Every structure is written in C-alpha cells, then in structure tokens.
C-alpha cells in the first residue's frame, strides 16, 4: 500500500465530512497523517482533524452526537489505514 492508496482507503466513506470540509482539505490532512512516521505525532494530528471535523459538521447543522459519530468513523478509518500502511512498509511503530 502506498500513501495515495492509504488516503483513498481512509476517506472512502465519510461523505458528511467530505461535503463540509471538502475533498482537497480532507485529503491534505489525511495525506500528512499518512506520511507521519511517529505514531504519537500521527495520533495528535488525527485528533486535531477529528476536532476540526466535529466543528465543521456542527457548523453545517448536525447535532453534537451526530458530528462526533461521523468524525469518529473517519478517525477509526485513518487510524486503521495508518497502521496498515506502516505494516505494509515494514516500519515499526
């Protein structure tokens, strides 16, 4: 798996976030996370994206629990994909 495949995999479902944040913004942040080799820093970046996603979804009219659910879905996808990318690269984390 390469970074482009990882970004595609991580963003393959969060349509609500894509509509409010936009594909380029989401792809930029997910690409930066996928390039990060330090697990701790990657997680900090993920949490920042999750917070930004929640804020954007609430601004778009979702209630807090819906926004958190959508953002958690993306966060889980990004985390899983980051792990898969590291394993496929043979990198330890």
Q: Taking 60 as the threshold, does the pLDDT of residue 49 lie above it?
A: yes
Percent of the chain, pLDDT > 90? 44
What per-residue confidence (pLDDT) applies to 12?
Answer: 78
What per-residue confidence (pLDDT) applies to 10?
Answer: 81
CB 36 within 8 A of CB 30: no
Q: Which tens digits make up the pLDDT trace of 5-33?
A: 888 888 776 566 666 667 778 888 999 99
Q: Taking 50 as the threshold, does the pLDDT of residue 93 lie above it?
A: no
What per-residue confidence (pLDDT) applies to 9?
Answer: 82
Backbone angles phi, psi at 63, to 5 degrees: -80, 165
Domain tally for the chain?
1
Q: What is the mean pLDDT of residues 60-73?
A: 90
DSSP 56-80: HHHHTT--HHHHHHHHHHHHHHHHH
Core vs surface per residue 63-86: b (16+ CB within 10 A) or e: eeeebbebbeebbebbbebbeebb
What per-residue confidence (pLDDT) applies to 44?
Answer: 97
CB 62 within 8 A of CB 16: yes
Domain that residue 78 falls in: 3-89
């Amino acid at each position: 798996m390469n970074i482009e495949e990882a970004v595609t995999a991580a963003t393959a479902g969060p349509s609500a976030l894509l509509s409010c944040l936009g594909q380029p913004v989401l792809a930029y942040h997910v690409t930066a996370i996928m390039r990060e080799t330090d697990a701790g820093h990657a997680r900090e970046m993920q949490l920042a994206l999750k917070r930004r996603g929640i804020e954007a979804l609430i601004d778009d009219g979702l209630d807090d629990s819906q926004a958190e659910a959508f953002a958690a879905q993306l966060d889980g996808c990004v985390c899983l994909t980051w792990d898969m990318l590291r394993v496929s690269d043979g990198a330890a984390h």
